[in-house]
Amino acid sequence: MLAEKVEQMMEWSSRRSVIRMNGDKFRRFVKAPPRNYSVIVMFTALQPQRQCSVCRQANEEYQVLANSWRYSSAFSNKLFFTVVDYDEGADVFQQLNMNSAPTFMHFPAKGKPKRADTFDLQRIGFASEQLAKWIADRTDVQIRVFRPPNYSGTIALALLVSLVGGLLYLRRNNLEFIYNKTGWAMAALCVVFAMTSGQMWNHIRGPPYAHKNPQNGQVSYIHGSSQAQFVAESHIILLLSILSHKTSFCTSLFICLVGLGLVVFFFSFLLSIFRSKYHGYPYSFLIK
Amino acid sequence: ASVSGFLSLLSFTILFLAWLAGFSSRLFAVIRFESIIHEFDPWFNYRSTHHLSTNGFYEFLNWFDERAWYPLGRIVGGTVYPGLMVTAGLIHYILNLLHVTVHIRDVCVFLAPVFSGLTAVSTFLLTRELWNQGAGLLAACFIAIVPGYISRSVAGSFDNEGIAIFALQFTYYLWVKSVKTGSVFWTIGCCLSYFYMVSAWGGYVFIINLIPLHVFVLLLMQRFSRRLYIAYSTFYIVGLVLSMQIPFVGFQPIRTSEHMAAAGVFALLQAYAFLQYLKDRLTRQEFQTLFFLGVSLAAGVVFLTLTKPSLPPLLRYAKIHIPIIASVSEHQPTTWVSFFFDLHILVCTFPAGLWFCIKNINDERVFVALYAISAVYFAGVMVRLMLTLTPVVCMLSAIAFSSVFEHYLGDDMKRENPIKQHPFYPVKNSSVYSKLIVTMLMLMLLMMFAVHCTWVTSNAYSSPSVVLASYNHDGSRNILDDFREAYYWLRQNTDEHARVMSWWDYGYQIAGMANRTTLVDNNTWNNSHIALVGKAMSSNESAAYEIMKSLDVDYVLIIFGGVIGYSGDDINKFLWMVRIAEGEHPKDIRESDYFTPQGEFRVDKAGSPTLLNCLMYKMSYYRFGEMQLDFRTPPGFDRTRNAEIGNKDIRLKHLEEAFTSEHWLVRIYRVKKQENRQALDHKLRNIAAKQKYTSKKVLPSRFH
């Protein structure tokens, strides 16, 4: 009986690293004894109408982990990876009193799953490495996560280099545009503006674009504290810096004065935004 | 009267005033409190300088410190940049030779403000080489008061950056001069200055990568000249040999990837010069220029792929995998507010200066453009590197302001070709009114800048952090001197060879002020040792006692902020202790054990039992349960976490409380020795009743 079950599970897992289960299969192979293998189950809701983007991301990480297990040298019939979708096994969800997805659970070979057998997704996240660490904790099976090499970066770089090379070759008789100082100056200024408006912070921390206050529905583009910023905020600063620069390069007297006025206005605006973040800053220019 | 005489007098006066302004604006902390060393790292530097001034230079160079990292010790001579200590020691020695008896502590405290004046002078020299004298004077004034530099060089902040920025600017000035003149004299001066920079700060890597980059870009721009060849070849060889004289640097310049760019560019330059030499000797076609270009690019691509990725991506990798690096708040990326806070209008005007530099390009302006772009990238990635951005921002803003002033305040009659000099400004003569308005506006902006700098310096960057001050609503000041009180208690009431265990933040201060042996300190060179201490703090008392016995710990020192609401205490840092311990002992310590089932970190009754029984919790809240801070809150109310503690009846078995400071900020516990007799676990022995057995032997007749 047990040998049959194990053989069936091995056959399924040889076809697909993650075994899809419905209610019946789940009850037969994961809950019912006899069992001498551990099962990791991902409870998820991947149908498009469920609109669970986290489930999709967690599913990708889970697939990477299951594939790493299947093709590793330590692969045995002691650990299996399965998935139960809400639309295929709603009764399982009800039976286990589960109302959030995705959830990762470990069903040990012997005994009932304890509290630590549910993966703490809220705190740790769903990266494959963290899942592997949790599995090693619960089952003493070490899985080395192997991510398939991502060639998109290399391909993009190769494409760029060939594009630039082609451009240079086509214009080889007229290489004057490299010597155009304005172009280089513009490029340098772009880099400087990007950095000083906090784009690296955005890139590394990934903040939301703006914050919608749930109480009064007001959208605020500026973060309240001085430690964080929104993407929108950094774009505003970027715009202000560029505009205040363009206005200082003027060609006639009248435009010069207008430019000056604009510089003053933008600087006051910048100061007022700064004041709103650093409560206690006592100086302002024209705008309070 | 000669104009040039008047000009030099004016320059001298302005530079002197800039030095004075820079010096005075850094003295807020000294005036408000007293002349002491601030923060944590400067205490180690002070202790080393003290050792140098009492025992001599060679003792310092060969110093093995057995009072740190017990029982491992630390080879100070080989793991420290000696420039700072040697500078302070030298000044102290010279002053004492002249019978000006200054204490070494005062030399250390005031070293950074004095060197800020020197930085202003060297920035003046550098900017004068790049643009003109007016821009130089403006740059000197900017860098004297800009907050980005002040933050690391206030009086009392006795740290490497204080002298390193001076060395940086001076080295760059001498490099620009040597590229301009092509003379070996200036290049050797540059090498000596570079040697000083290497001895002063780990940031010398920036110089040794920027200068080769400059040479490389000049080669790409077809600006090769004999001056460049002489300058770089001499600089590379002599600089390399000099930099390897520092024990800490050792053989790194020929082994690690950060220095490979310099070697690569050196080889490239030799090849390029050789090909140029051949070209002069033999006749070739114009096709040769493209050949040079192609070879340069190919070589550049080849050695870029051979060397490892640059520093910031490496830092990000380290941040994910090594919790200690992630826990330092200065290694975070920069928001735009930090840029504006530290640099005010300079950050808005320096792109304009950059534009002018690129439009009127020559050899040295290529250098400053590259400096600006690389510095702004690094500053965007890591807040701490804002310091390297500050000098170049000052220089470029000075260039921008100088151009504006020159245009609007300069004499139109004397100018010959206004079109050629300023391609962007109006051709016709502007009226007096517009000149006046623009000048007034610029002056107002500069005044706002000065006011902002002073405000920032006074409020944000002048706290010694050894002494805490709070202000009541009537404005009077309340000083909390708990740290020094506790360290002096340790100094006076414990045995000289006692060993103190605390978290690594306080190691340098304990060694400096209390003069006791510590287990771990801010150098954080041994992660496993720190993990052991973290494990002891996060385990329960018996398990922790085993660890403390094995490390010969006599006293444990913790920081507790619950009475006054101090948020930098050890309970708030506790999760980092757990994470670091878990990194080394994953089977014994699990971070999830210290959270509630809902995933919260709570110290009240609902907190996790592992947390409520761990050593750190017990030490922090020992006897706190009986303390009622005011009548509105229950006894045992932690003001920092805003919660009533869960475990009020705490009993310590292996520790006893030795000292608690006035506001309960620092708590010191003595580790009790093991008891002489240990009660063994035993059961009463059951003696089964045996049958009485009487021997039937008869004694021999002799004994009758």
Q: What is the pLDDT of residues B149-166, one digit of tens each?
A: 999 899 989 999 989 999
Tell me which of B336, B368, B397, B455 to substitute to probe the interface with A (most A C-beta atoms closer than 10 Å).
Answer: B336
Averaged pLDDT, B185-208? 94
Give the residue with greater pLDDT, A81 vs A265: A81
Average pLDDT for chain A? 76
The rounded radius of gyration (Å) of the Cα atoms in chain B is 33
Q: What is the pLDDT of residue B260?
A: 86
Q: What is the pLDDT of residue B302?
A: 67
In angstroms, the CA A267 to CA A271 distance is: 6
A226 touching B (Cβ < 8 Å): yes
Q: What is the pLDDT of residue B199?
A: 95
Q: Which residues contact B264 (CB under 8 A, 6 or more apart)?
A: B212, B299, B303, B307
A178 touching B (Cβ < 8 Å): no
| B380 to A195: CB separation less than 8 angstroms, yes or no | yes
Query: Chains A, B: CB contacts under 8 A, how many?
Result: 124
Does residue B43 contact residue B506 with C-beta atoms inside 8 Å? no
| A198 to B369: CB separation less than 8 angstroms, yes or no | no
Nearest CA in chain A to B586: A137
Which residues on B lie below 8 Å from A260 (Cβ)? 437-438, 441
Name the residue among B337, B373, B448 with its Cβ closest to that of A277: B337
Sign of CA dihedral B426, B428, B434, B436: positive
Whether pLDDT at A198 is above 60: yes
- Our CA angle for A25, A29, A34, nearest 5°, is 150
Q: What is the pLDDT of residue B538?
A: 93
Q: What is the pLDDT of residue B513?
A: 93
The crossing angle, in degrees rounded to 10, of helices B184-200 and B83-97 is 100
As a whole number of Å, the end-to-end CA separation of chain A is 80
- State the ipTM, two decimals: 0.73
Whether pLDDT at A148 is above 90: no
Name the residue among A193, A245, A274 with its Cβ closest to that of B340: A274
For residue A34, say if its preceding peptide bond is cis, omega within 30 degrees of 0: yes
**Which of A158-162, A278-282, B7-11, B75-79 has the lowest average pLDDT?**
A278-282
**B251-301 pLDDT tens trace:** 988 888 888 889 989 999 998 898 888 777 765 666 666 677 767 777 777
**A232-283 pLDDT tens trace:** 556 666 666 665 565 555 445 566 667 677 777 777 777 777 777 777 777 7
Whether pLDDT at B210 is above 80: yes
Which residues on B lie below 8 Å from A264 (Cβ)? 441
Does residue B503 contact residue B573 with C-beta atoms inside 8 Å? yes
Which residues on B lie below 8 Å from A267 (Cβ)? 345, 348, 445
Q: How far is CA B429 from the centre of its chain?
A: 51
Question: How far is it between the farthest Cα atoms of chain A?
Answer: 95
In angstroms, the CA A260 to CA A254 distance is: 10
| A193 to B341: CB separation less than 8 angstroms, yes or no | no
DSSP string, A9-69: HHHHHHH-SEEEE-HHHIIIIIISSP--SEEEEEEE--SGGG--HHHHHHHHHHHHHHHHH
Q: Residue type at B148?
A: G
Which residues on A lie below 8 Å from B380 (Cβ)? 194-196, 198-201
Name the residue among A123, A198, A200 with its Cβ closest to that of B599: A123
Q: Which residue has the tokens 């700064």?
A: A274
Whether pLDDT at B194 is above 60: yes
Q: Quote the tokens at residue B596.
A: 């509630």
**B462-480 pLDDT tens trace:** 888 888 888 778 878 888 8
Q: What is the pLDDT of residue B616?
A: 93
Which residues on A lie below 8 Å from B419 (Cβ)? none
Q: What is the pLDDT of residue B303?
A: 63
- A211-212 and A219-220 strand pairing: antiparallel
Q: Which residues contact B485 (CB under 8 A, 6 or more apart)?
A: B661, B662, B666
Which residues on B lie below 8 Å from A252 (Cβ)? 426
In angstroms, the CA B423 to CA B359 distance is: 9
Which residues on A lie below 8 Å from B297 (Cβ)? none
A249 touching B (Cβ < 8 Å): yes
Q: What is the pLDDT of residue B320?
A: 44
**A211: three-class secondary structure by DSSP:** strand
Q: What is the pLDDT of residue B701?
A: 67
- Our CA angle for B555, B561, B567, nearest 5°, is 125
Whether pLDDT at B33 is above 60: yes
A33 touching B (Cβ < 8 Å): no
Does residue B165 contact residue B149 with C-beta atoms inside 8 Å? yes
Name the residue among B335, B376, B595 with its Cβ closest to that of A229: B335
In angstroms, the CA B640 to CA B561 distance is: 6
| A182 to B359: CB separation less than 8 angstroms, yes or no | yes
Which residues on A lie below 8 Å from B426 (Cβ)? 250-253, 256
Q: What is the pLDDT of residue A265?
A: 75
| B373 to A192: CB separation less than 8 angstroms, yes or no | yes
> How many C-beta atoms lie closer than 10 Å to residue A19's C-beta?
22
Q: Which residues contact A255 (CB under 8 A, 6 or more apart)?
A: none
Averaged pLDDT, B515-524? 92
Which residues on B lie below 8 Å from A285 (Cβ)? 448
Could you give the residue ranges of the DSSP H alpha helices within A71-108?
A: 90-95
Domains and CATH numbers, chain A: 2-139 (3.40.30.10), 180-277 (no CATH)
Q: What is the pLDDT of residue B4?
A: 87
Does residue B437 contact residue A257 with C-beta atoms inside 8 Å? yes
Q: Residue type at B379?
A: A
| B354 to A189: CB separation less than 8 angstroms, yes or no | yes
SS3 content of chain B, % helix, strand, coil (to 5): 60, 5, 35
- Our CA angle for A75, A77, A79, nearest 5°, is 80
Whether pLDDT at B486 is above 90: yes
In angstroms, the CA B623 to CA B605 distance is: 17
| A226 to B352: CB separation less than 8 angstroms, yes or no | no
**B356-380 pLDDT tens trace:** 888 888 889 999 999 999 999 888 8
Give the residue with greater pLDDT, B689 vs B90: B90
Average pLDDT for chain B? 86
Nearest CA in chain A to B338: A226
Task: Tally the C-alpha atoms within 13 A of residue B103's C-alpha that lie toward its C-beta.
Answer: 7
Q: Which residue has the tokens 């060395």?
A: B167
Q: Which residues contact B527 (CB under 8 A, 6 or more apart)?
A: B322, B324, B580, B583, B584
Q: Which residue has the tokens 């920027």?
A: B210
**B177: three-class secondary structure by DSSP:** helix
Name the residue among A204, A228, A253 with its Cβ closest to that of B430: A253
Q: What is the pLDDT of residue A133?
A: 84
**B469: three-class secondary structure by DSSP:** strand
| A200 to B335: CB separation less than 8 angstroms, yes or no | no
Which residues on B lie below 8 Å from A181 (Cβ)? 358-359, 361
A127 touching B (Cβ < 8 Å): no
Q: How far is CA B480 from the centre of its chain?
A: 25
A115 touching B (Cβ < 8 Å): yes
| B438 to A193: CB separation less than 8 angstroms, yes or no | no
Q: Which of B59, B245, B87 is nearest to B160 (CA)?
A: B87
Which residues on A lie below 8 Å from B405 (Cβ)? none
A109 touching B (Cβ < 8 Å): no
Whether pLDDT at B35 is above 80: yes
| A229 to B372: CB separation less than 8 angstroms, yes or no | no
Whether pLDDT at B191 is above 90: yes
Give the residue with greater pLDDT, A34 vs B704: A34
Q: How far is CA A139 from the centre of its chain?
A: 29
| B337 to A196: CB separation less than 8 angstroms, yes or no | no
**B608-644 pLDDT tens trace:** 889 999 999 999 999 998 888 888 888 888 989 888 8
Task: Tally the C-alpha atoms within 13 A of residue B46's C-alpha that lie toward its C-beta.
Answer: 28
Name the residue among A188, A200, A278 with its Cβ closest to that of B334: A200
**B285: three-class secondary structure by DSSP:** coil
Q: Which residues contact B670 (CB under 8 A, 6 or more apart)?
A: B554, B555, B655, B656, B657, B658
Tell me which of A100, A196, A249, A276 to substitute to probe the interface with B (most B C-beta atoms closer than 10 Å).
Answer: A196
**B408-454 pLDDT tens trace:** 776 654 544 444 444 444 444 556 777 777 788 888 888 989 999 99
Which residues on B lie below 8 Å from A192 (Cβ)? 350-351, 354, 372-373, 376
| B377 to A270: CB separation less than 8 angstroms, yes or no | no
**Which of A214-223, B31-40, B244-253 has the lowest average pLDDT?**
A214-223
Name the residue among B372, B381, B437 with its Cβ closest to that of A200: B381
Residues forming a β-bridge with A246: none
> How many C-beta atoms lie closer than 10 Å to residue B7's C-beta?
11
Nearest CA in chain A to B595: A123
Whether pLDDT at B237 is above 80: yes
Give the residue with greater pLDDT, A43 vs B675: A43
Name the residue among A204, A252, A260 with its Cβ closest to that of B441: A260
Q: What is the pLDDT of residue B418?
A: 43
Q: Which residues contact A95 (CB under 8 A, 6 or more apart)?
A: none
Instruction: Kindly compute the dihedral angle of the four CA atoms of residues A30, A34, A35, A39, in this order, to the nearest 10 degrees.
Output: 10
